[in-house]
């Protein structure tokens, strides 16, 4: 330990004079590549693809240089008419900054041959380096003129495969900050119920299951994540200065980092390097969509973000330095050196301010916490993409992810009448029950709707229909601007691109969201919206509730420790008689498990394969007198792995929620995915004076085919006409 500290101190002393000296940036090139250097980092970029083929930090190679694609954008510029250029020449600015561009012109043909598949759009990839920068910036620009055919973008991210001889420690957040398994450990592990899940048979995590989704992160809150070296005391981090270019808003979870998952179980010596990802369009946890109509003149700038290298002592010091760098980058956003693309500068952007005032007569003294306010594109119907013009990984739902979807579909039972991922539009049409209209008169539930899915998901398949409505939770086509408001509801959203938006607000403790449409934002102006009244939707007097409406299940039992494989195997051990919740006595922190899953009857099941029996949870509550009118059971759901959820009141059916749409949150060891509210309205006369029992049943099926609740509430309107 003393030696490690000394080595770190020596390296820091070595870096200090170099940083003060701040050598000029240089850009050189040959027939195959560009090289950017500034005395701290040296980056080599392939001219044909736009891949980053080498990144050296004071002579140390940070990437897996032997990999075919050490660091790459999933949609590269390898096809079409090629243009490679120096877009910022350091010889013209005194060595302050250099930037290179690799652009592929589609001409209306498929572009890109990277792991994200292809898309009919022009693709430009840039890398930039400034004087004194301890890292290199990258960004990607998609452009689709109106003379190009319709298209869609599949799995879309920037990915880095790191030097396995260098990096052994991974940091996502305070809960996932540890020395990781080795390549040997992964290659000698035993596969579980998915190709990306293995039980370790060696190393410090022997006996535990490694699953790359256990390191998924909330992209709004996690702005710097990466790997560091116990031996060389250096770190490499991805730093997002803004999340405006990412999909899914402030509740979006996505893959962040992991050890690369080699799926060939016979390859005991296969490489499995440390990996870093920056996802801007992912299908995980409910996914996102980016469909482009033939009539769309569309462009989107993804980034710039920083690939940051540091050396500041131990792992925690390097992580906190990366967090400080993220704060610095955020304050510098938008960068004044970005030119020649659709990227408004500071003076061209706007600030939008206001104050959210909660107006809930049933909770007059409630104060909002974790209030998130955002400006997004208005909800829209996605473009319909002809078959054959989709993208690999473009599947919205089970087949778009990279998880073991075949196993999921097998357990699910030929969902929609298709096989091997063929979804039939007619058979997945949702059937609504209860009241699905909110105060804005629009259907905000089960958005992945009437048209369902059609066509084979996978290479060349893509969407034929997709979700009925694209909202802020699944939009990847447009930009989003979110902030966390203060305790008084005051918000200020900076750096907003000019345009027409909808304003949204969500807060812990408030069921549903606030939407205000037709917000027009002008270039370079401040828009003061003043006080905005938020009357939450109520269908009657609240009788009881369970949980906290916060868009995830973290407050429930084990919800604070969700990021581990196999909780569905542990459920029968923790709740051998299922959940039997008593209003007024039970504590949802302890007595309500964070996922309702089929009951694993096989105590010897250690792999997670196979099926479980139906699981019924009950909620017992007392009423002083027999009610009348209409009652509404409100179910806020953030994780779906089952087709249906049935409900009974005192052994009488309330119907079922049958239009549930899979979002893989349970399969991927998550705590929150695409959020929906399903309401079951029923005759209040089914309840009685004294004890009442609500039953909620997840049917038998695969052990991951369950539900993660965000929140449950029962409301009563004694003056309303009872549903028939």
DSSP output for 552-595: S-TTSBTGGG--STTHHHHHHHH-TT--EEETTT--HHHHSBS-
Read off the pLDDT band of 395 (50, 70, 90).
Answer: very low
For the cut 90, the answer to whether the pLDDT of residue 616 exceeds it is: yes
Q: What is the mean pLDDT of the chain?
A: 87
Structure confidence at residue 14 as a pLDDT band (50, 70, 90): very low
> CA-based angle 506:510:511, to the nearest 5?
90
Confidence of residue 400 (pLDDT cuts 50, 70, 90): very low
The values of phi and psi at residue 90, to 5°, are -65, -20
d(Cα 331, Cα 501) in Å, to the nearest integer?
Answer: 23
From 215, 312, 232, select the one nearest 62 (Cα to Cα): 232
β-sheet bridge partners, residue 249: none
Q: In this structure, are residues 280 and 304 in contact, taking their beta carbons and an 8 Å threshold?
A: no
CB 224 within 8 A of CB 307: no
Distance CA 659, CA 436 (A): 12
**DSSP structure class, residue 699:** P
Length of the chain: 724
For residue 402, pLDDT beyond 50: no
**Distance, CA of 38 to CA of 98 (rounded, Å):** 9
Range with the lowest mean pLDDT among 28-32, 186-190, 411-415, 637-641? 411-415
Label residue 50 by pLDDT band (50, 70, 90). Answer: very high
CB neighbourhood size of 390 (10 A) = 30
Pick 404 or 182 by higher pLDDT: 182
Average pLDDT over residues 142-168: 96
Q: Phi, psi at residue 203, to the nearest 5°?
A: 80, -175
CB 249 within 8 A of CB 215: no
Fold match between domain 346-537 and domain 541-717 = no
Lowest mean pLDDT among 420-434, 455-469, 478-492, 624-638: 420-434
Alpha-carbon span 141 to 477, nearest angstrom? 12
Q: For domain 541-717, say whether CATH 2.60.120.260 is its number.
A: yes
| Phi/psi of residue 405, nearest 5 degrees | -70, -30
DSSP 8-state symbol, 326: H
Q: Choose between 394 and 116: higher pLDDT.
A: 116
- Name which of 675, 627, 672 is nearest 649 in CA terms: 627
Fold of 346-537: Immunoglobulin-like (2.60.40)
- The pLDDT tens digits for 307-335 are 999 998 899 999 999 999 999 999 999 99
**Could you tell me the pLDDT band of residue 6, with boundaries at 50, 70 and 90?**
very low
Q: Give the separation between CA 408 and CA 399, rounded to whole angstroms.
A: 9
Contact criterion met (CB below 8 Å) for 508 and 370: yes
Map out the domains of the chain as residue ranges.
Answer: 2-179+211-343, 346-537, 541-717
Contacts of 1 (CB under 8 A, 6+ apart): none
Kindly tell me if the per-residue pLDDT of 9 is higher than 60: no
Q: Per DSSP, which regions of 626-723 are E strands?
A: 630-640, 645-649, 652-657, 676-683, 690-698, 701-702, 707-717
Of 308-317, 422-431, 714-723, the one with minimum mean pLDDT is 422-431
Residue 12 has pLDDT above 50, yes or no: no
Among 714, 712, 377, 348, which residue's Cα sits nearest to residue 549? 712
Give pairs for 66-72: CB < 8 Å, separation 24+. Answer: 66/271, 67/161, 67/271, 67/273, 69/114, 69/115, 69/159, 69/161, 70/160, 70/161, 71/158, 71/159, 71/160, 71/161, 71/307, 72/114, 72/115, 72/158, 72/159
pLDDT for residue 655 is more than 90: yes
330 and 220 in contact (C-beta within 8 Å)? no
Residue 431 in this model has a pLDDT that exceeds 60: no
Give residue 87's pLDDT band: very low, low, confident or very high (50, 70, 90).
very high
How far apart CA 209 and CA 192 sit, in angstroms, is 8
Contact yes or no for 492/527 (Cβ under 8 A): no
Which residues in 308-331 are b (16+ Cβ under 10 Å) and which e? bbbbbbebebbbebbbebbeebbe
Reply yes or no on whether the pLDDT at 388 is more than 70. Answer: no
> Is the Cα dihedral 397, 400, 401, 407 positive or negative?
positive
Among the residue ranges 74-83, 92-101, 121-130, 429-438, the one predicted with the least confidence is: 429-438
Residue 659 has a pLDDT of: 84
- Name the least confident of 23-27, 257-261, 562-566: 257-261
Query: Is 165's pLDDT higher than 70?
Result: yes
Residue 214 in this model has a pLDDT that exceeds 60: yes
Gap between the Cα atoms of 119 and 302, Å rounded: 15
How far apart, in whole angstroms, are the C-alpha atoms of residue 308 and residue 323? 11
Strand 369-376 relative to strand 499-508, pairing: antiparallel
Q: Is 638 helix (H, G, I), strand (E, B) or coil?
A: strand
Give the whole-angstrom CA distance, residue 105 versus residue 101.
Answer: 13
Q: Are 340 and 517 in contact (CB under 8 A)?
A: no
Of 417 and 507, the structure prediction assigns the larger pLDDT to 507
Q: What is the pLDDT of residue 117?
A: 75
Alpha helix locations (H) across 74-231?
Answer: 183-187
Centroid of chain to Cα 323? 20
**2-179+211-343 CATH:** 2.70.98.10
337 Cβ contact list (under 8 Å, min separation 6):
88, 97, 99, 128, 130
Q: Are strands 615-623 and 580-582 parallel, antiparallel or unpaired?
A: parallel
pLDDT band at residue 266, thresholds of 50, 70 and 90? Answer: low
Of 20-24, 318-322, 454-458, 560-564, the least confident:
454-458
Contact (CB, 8 A) for 267 and 147: no
Is 70 exceeded by the pLDDT of residue 423?
no
Cα separation, 261 vs 706, whole angstroms = 26
Per the CB < 8 A criterion, the answer to whether 112 and 118 are in contact is: yes
Q: What is the mean pLDDT of residues 465-476?
A: 83
pLDDT of residue 426: 25
> What's the predicted TM-score (pTM) here?
0.88
Region of residue 566 (phi > 0: left; psi between -120 and 50: alpha; otherwise: beta): left
DSSP-derived letter for residue 637 is: E
- Residue among 650, 608, 635 nearest 698 (CA): 635
Q: Is the pLDDT of residue 169 over 50?
A: yes
DSSP 664: -
Cis preceding linkage at 124, omega within 30: no
Q: Mean of the pLDDT values across residues 610-627?
A: 97
**Phi, psi of 415, rounded to the nearest 5 degrees:** -50, 130
Start-to-end C-alpha separation, the chain: 72
pLDDT given for residue 80 in this prediction? 81
Residue 390: what pLDDT? 55
Residues of the chain with pLDDT > 90: what percent?
Answer: 79
């Amino acid at each position: 330990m003393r030696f490690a500290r000394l080595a770190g101190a020596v390296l820091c002393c070595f870096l200090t004079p170099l940083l003060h000296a701040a050598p000029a940036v240089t850009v050189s090139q040959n027939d195959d590549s560009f090289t950017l250097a500034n005395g701290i980092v040296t980056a080599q970029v392939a001219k044909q693809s736009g891949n980053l083929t080498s990144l050296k930090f004071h002579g140390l190679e940070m990437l897996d240089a032997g990999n075919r694609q050490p660091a790459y954008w999933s949609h590269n510029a390898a096809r079409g008419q090629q243009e490679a250029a120096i877009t910022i020449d350091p010889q013209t600015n005194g060595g302050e900054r250099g930037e290179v561009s690799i652009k592929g012109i589609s001409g209306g043909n498929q572009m890109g041959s990277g792991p994200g598949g292809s898309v009919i759009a022009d693709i430009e990839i840039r890398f930039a380096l400034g004087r004194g920068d301890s890292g290199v910036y990258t960004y990607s620009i998609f452009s689709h003129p109106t003379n190009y055919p319709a298209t869609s973008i599949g799995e879309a991210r920037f990915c880095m495969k790191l030097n396995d001889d260098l990096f052994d420690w991974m940091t996502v957040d305070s809960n996932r900050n540890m020395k990781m398994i080795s390549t040997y450990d992964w290659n000698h592990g035993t596969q579980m119920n998915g190709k990306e899940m293995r039980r370790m048979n060696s190393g410090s995590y022997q006996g535990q299951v490694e699953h790359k989704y256990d390191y998924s992160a909330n992209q709004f809150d996690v702005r710097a994540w990466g790997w560091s070296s116990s031996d060389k005391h250096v770190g490499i981090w991805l730093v997002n200065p803004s999340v405006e270019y990412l999909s899914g808003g402030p509740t979006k979870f996505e893959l962040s980092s992991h050890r690369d998952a080699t799926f060939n179980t016979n390859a005991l010596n296969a490489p499995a390097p440390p990996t870093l990802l920056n996802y801007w369009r992912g299908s995980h946890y409910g996914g996102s969509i980016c469909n482009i109509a033939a009539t769309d003149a569309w462009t989107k700038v993804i980034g710039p973000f920083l690939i940051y290298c540091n050396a500041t002592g131990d792992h925690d010091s390097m992580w906190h330095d990366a967090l400080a760098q993220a704060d610095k980058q955020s304050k510098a956003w938008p960068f004044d050196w970005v030119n020649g693309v659709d990227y408004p500068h500071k003076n061209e952007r706007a600030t939008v301010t206001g104050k959210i005032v909660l107006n809930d007569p049933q909770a007059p003294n409630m104060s909002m916490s974790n209030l998130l306010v955002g400006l997004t594109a208005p909800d829209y119907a996605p473009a319909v993409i002809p078959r054959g013009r989709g993208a690999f990984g473009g599947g919205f739902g089970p087949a778009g992810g990279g998880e073991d979807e075949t196993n999921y579909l097998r357990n699910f039972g030929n969902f929609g009448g298709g096989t091997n991922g063929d979804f039939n539009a007619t058979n997945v049409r949702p059937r609504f029950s209860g009241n699905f209209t909110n105060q804005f008169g629009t259907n905000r539930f089960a958005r992945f709707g009437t048209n369902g899915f059609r066509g084979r998901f996978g290479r060349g398949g893509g969407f034929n229909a997709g979700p009925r409505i694209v909202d802020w939770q699944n939009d990847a086509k447009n930009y989003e601007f979110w902030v966390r408001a203060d305790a008084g509801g005051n918000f200020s959203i900076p750096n907003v691109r000019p345009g027409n938006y909808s304003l949204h607000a969500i807060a812990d403790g408030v069921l549903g969201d606030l939407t205000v449409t037709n917000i027009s934002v002008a270039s370079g102006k401040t828009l003061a919206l003043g006080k905005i009244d938020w009357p939450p939707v109520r269908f009657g007097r609240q009788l009881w509730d369970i949980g906290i409406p916060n868009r995830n299940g973290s407050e429930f039992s084990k919800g604070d420790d969700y990021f581990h494989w196999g909780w569905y195997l542990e459920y029968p051990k923790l709740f051998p008689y299922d959940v039997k919740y008593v209003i007024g006595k039970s504590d949802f922190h302890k007595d309500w498990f964070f996922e309702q899953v089929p009951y694993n009857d096989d105590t010897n099941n250690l792999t997670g394969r196979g099926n479980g029996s139906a699981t019924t949870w009950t909620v017992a509550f007392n009423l002083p007198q027999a009610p009348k009118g209409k009652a509404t059971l409100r179910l806020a759901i953030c994780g779906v792995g089952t087709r249906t959820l049935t409900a009974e009141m005192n052994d009488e059916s309330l119907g079922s929620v049958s239009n549930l749409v899979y979002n893989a949150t349970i399969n991927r060891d998550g705590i929150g995915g695409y959020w929906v509210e399903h309401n079951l309205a029923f005759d209040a006369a089914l309840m009685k004076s004294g004890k009442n029992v609500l039953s909620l049943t997840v049917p038998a099926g695969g052990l991951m085919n369950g539900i993660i609740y965000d929140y449950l509430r029962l409301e009563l309107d004694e003056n309303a006409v009872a549903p028939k």
